[in-house]
Every structure is written in C-alpha cells, then in structure tokens.
Amino acid sequence: MARETHPLEDSQCRLYIIQQTLQDNKANLTYPQVIGAYYNKNGYDPVLLMDHLKGDDLKIMTDYFNNAPQHGLKAELFKAAEIKALLAKLHDKKAIKTLDDAYKTMAQLEMFTANSLIRYSNALQYGIISPRKIYARYFTETLRPDSNFMSNVFTVKEMKTYLDSIQPRDPQYVSLQKAFSQDIQVNGMSQEESDRYFAVNLERLRWKNKPKADEKYVIVNIPDFRLDVMEGGKSVLNMKVCVGEGRNMENEVKLDEYDEGDKVDRPFSRETPQLNSMIHSVQVNPVWNIPESIATKEIMVEAAQDPYYLSNKNIDVYQNGKLVDDPETIDWGSAGKNDYEFKQRPGNDNALGKIKFLFKNRSSVYLHDTPAKNAFNQTMRAVSHGCVRVEQPQKLAEALFGSGQQYQTIVKKMGEENDAPTNIDLPKKVPVYLTYVTCWVDEAGKLQFRPDVYSLDVVLYAHLAKMVTV
C-alpha cells in the first residue's frame, strides 16, 4: 500500500511497517516466533527504540557485542556492525529521504536489536549449544531459555546495568576467560588446539546444569578419573575412579583437526554417560546382574572355552527366570544371546566388589567397589564397562552416611564373607553428577587439562566452530 495514495496515521504506518519488516526479515532472525509474538501482543510498538534510541544505550550495547570474543564468541553472531550501520543511517539526514524511510530503518533497527539482545543474553546465561541436542548420552538436567525469559529484554530500562548483570561471574569462568585472553598454550598442544580447549569449556560453564553451591553432592569428572564429595562448595573427599572405556583414549582425534562429520556423536558402547541423579541406597555384598552386552560378548565366550569358567567366577545362569543346575552342559558356542541371564553371586571375585552405590538412571550405571585395585595405579583409567569404580568405597560410604549405626553396619557387612546382599537406604538422598570437563582451574589457581577420552570436546567444537573465534 503506497503511503502517497492512502495516507495513514503515524501509529498505523508504524504498525504496518514493523509487521512487514518482521515478515521480510524472518530468515535473518534467530528467534522470529518469540519476537513476533511479543510485538503482536504489544501492538507492534518499537519498545526498544522508544526506551534506548536517545542517549548512548545502543552504542553501549554494540560495544558489548563487539567484546563477545572475550567469551570465545564471534561478534558477528550479534550483528553489531549491522546495528551500528542502521543507527548511523537513522541519524544521517541525507540517508533518510522520507518518513517511510525513517520508519523502515527504525523497524529494521528494532528487529535486529531485539534479536541480538536475546541471542547475547541466551548465549551468556545458557550457552550457545543445547548439550542434549548434540550428545547421545547426556542425561543431566539442563535449563534452556524459554519465551518468557527471552521476552525480558523488551523490559530492560538501563542497558549497561542489564548487560553487566548477565556477564558470567563464576570464578571458574572468569579464570578460563583470563587464560584464554593470554593465549596460554598447553604442553603438547598447538596454540589453535589450546584455544579450542578454552572455547569448549567456556561453553560448558555457560550451561545451566551445575549443582547448588551450598548443597552436599558427589561429582565425578570423567576425563579427570576422579570423584569429589562436595559440601559448602569445598571438596571434603577426593579419590581416584575408573570410568568406561572411550573412543579416543589414544588421543588420535584432536581439536585442531576439525571435520564437519564430527557433529554426529558416536559413543563407544562402554562410555560412562553424563548424568545427574540422587544416590538413594547402597547394597553391601552385591549381586551383579550381568548386562546382556557383557554376557554375550564376554561371559558366553569365556564359558565356551572353559566349561568351569562360570562356577569358578560364582556366576549363576537363569533360563526363563529359573536357575540352571548344570550350566557346564550347555553348548555356549551355539547358545542364543537372549536365551539366558547371568548373575554373579557376592564374594571377593564379584566385579562390583563389596558395595555398590545406587541411583536411578536410564543407563543402569552406578558407583561401586572393585576387586581390580591395580587399575587405580594407571594414569589412563577409562577401563570399565560404563559404571564408575571407586578407589575408597568405605570412605565414600562414611561421607554419605556419617559415622553412625548405618555406617557401622556397612563396615561390618563389608568385612564378612556373606553370600546375602544387604540393602541400606540413605537417610537423606545425595545428588550425584557424572560430568565431563577437560579444562579448569584447581583450588591452587593452576590450570588443569585432561585428554578428551570420549571425543566430546571434538563433538562440541564441531557444533561451535562457526560461532567461536578459534
């Protein structure tokens, strides 16, 4: 509709042009539905320009966007240059010929400002990438921004105050930022690979999946092969662990060898998943219900070679829920993989050791003791079938239960040659987190780096590559 033919009131013209600009720029907006819904609900008023066009607010905003590389992010993500160009055009009397030109420029500036503010806010407070969308075995509760959160940018009154308020304050984040800005190079890595280590771990720190600082919880960092019991933000117990075997244990795939094909997460079958849950109980002198994959690939193969393997390992065989009396007579070389179930009785040879710590999860993993103590002397401790073996299970039990009667019962039962499993519930469930972090600053302020044993850094970088500065 030509304005010269059908003159409109300013408010009507503005409404029409903002509607049309929104429609025309949908492909250039990251959040067209959120932005469209807000303006539709609020009469298509250019609220951001009404509040921030006067003064230096928009210049301040673009300055923050241009400093995005401090977070490892490209400034281009937030269209700082486009916003500055539109702002300059709006103030250039020679560039603006008509009122329609002014409205169209204002509408574009409003749309780009809204989209970039939302994207910047989301990136710093929630991260660029949703881990659930890129990792096949990621089961950690992770908050993502919703439309209500994103709409908060439309109510910002003090731009600098708002932008200051959303900068990450986590000491870990600030320390990695500082190291990243100083171009620190990790031993054995190129500068490019070192920078990418920082970039992917800064992104991890932006994800909202962290424990509450003041709560008691157990945390395992898979690449570090260690477990901590945390209370009040401090580690009160630290020990070695063994985790599941990984696809990149020889460090053959490196972060500076970027390939688009790495976007697909192809986990090795024994990799320990990332998850959070609640430890609810322990089982002392546990029975090991042997998973089907281990039964078919290992137990049945061993039994086919040695008819007494099962009895020597205290493994019972069940068919249709009934105990098989003479498993030595079965031809294991031709047995079907789903024909039998296997359970290892409690004892010194039990793969779970003397105690396991139970928490609900879809991967059927848990923390447990092990008879294979020598593995804790290895540097590379990605050796299990997926569960987490703990170096000091009795100390972990004490940290969870305290030193009272329940703990004394655990100590007594662990010392017995007892075929009967004993289940003991925790008086209060304790959160547990299985995490994956390859770069952090320790309590002494020293940078720590660990090998990317599961190639999860590689997968994350493949999704970040076009959005980060390295």
Is 350 contained in some domain?
no
The token pair that represents 421 in the structure block: 């499993």
Q: Domain check: are 14 and 146 in the same one?
A: yes
Sorting pLDDT into bands at 50, 70 and 90, what band is 1? very low
Minimal CA–CA distance to 423: which of 287, 314, 229, 317? 287
Residue 247 lies in a domain: yes
Q: Is residue 418 part of a domain?
A: yes
Question: Does one domain contain both 225 and 339?
Answer: no
Both 243 and 114 in one domain: the answer is no
138-177 pLDDT tens trace: 999 999 999 999 999 999 999 999 999 999 999 999 999 9
Both 223 and 74 in one domain: the answer is no
Tokens of 102: 């002014």
DSSP-based helix, strand, coil % in the chain, nearest 5:
40, 20, 40
Regarding whether 139 and 51 lie in a shared domain, the answer is yes
Written as one string, the DSSP assignment of 92-113 is -TTT--SHHHHHHHHHHHHHHH
Q: Read off the pLDDT of residues 304-316 as tens digits, 9 standing for 90 and up.
A: 999 899 999 999 9
Q: Is residue 275 part of a domain?
A: yes
Residue 285 CA to residue 345 CA, distance in Å, equals 9
Domain with 42, as residue range(s), is: 10-165
Quickly state the pLDDT bin for 5 (edges 50, 70, 90): very low
Mean pLDDT of the chain: 92
pLDDT of residue 10: 65
Same domain membership, residue 304 and residue 161: no
Of 137, 165, 193, the last residue of a domain is 165
Q: Are residues 107 and 245 in the same domain?
A: no
CATH of the domain at 207: 2.40.440.10
Best CA proximity match to 420, nearest among 354, 370, 364: 354
154-155-158 Cα angle (round to 5): 110
Tokens of 412: 């007594």
Domain boundary among 165, 197, 229: 165
Q: Is residue 127 part of a domain?
A: yes
Same domain, 95 and 145: yes
Instruction: With a cut of 50, say whether residue 8 has pLDDT above it.
Output: no
Alpha-carbon dihedral sign for residues 439, 440, 442, 446: positive
The answer on 382 and 299 residing in a single domain is no
CB burial string 42-81: b at 16+ within 10 A, e below: eebebbbbebbbeeebbeebbebbeebeebbbebebbbbe
Note whether 329 and 301 are same-domain residues.
yes
Q: Which residues of 461-470 are buried (b: 16+ CB within 10 A; e: fewer)?
A: bbbbbebbeb
| CB 192 within 8 Å of CB 461 | no
Cα separation, 7 vs 10, whole angstroms? 9
Total tally of structural domains belonging to the chain: 3
In whole angstroms, give the CA distance from residue 149 to residue 121: 9
Residues 48 and 90 in one domain: yes
* Same domain membership, residue 105 and residue 24: yes
Q: What is the SS3 assignment for 254?
A: coil
C-beta separation of 387 from 368 below 8 A: yes
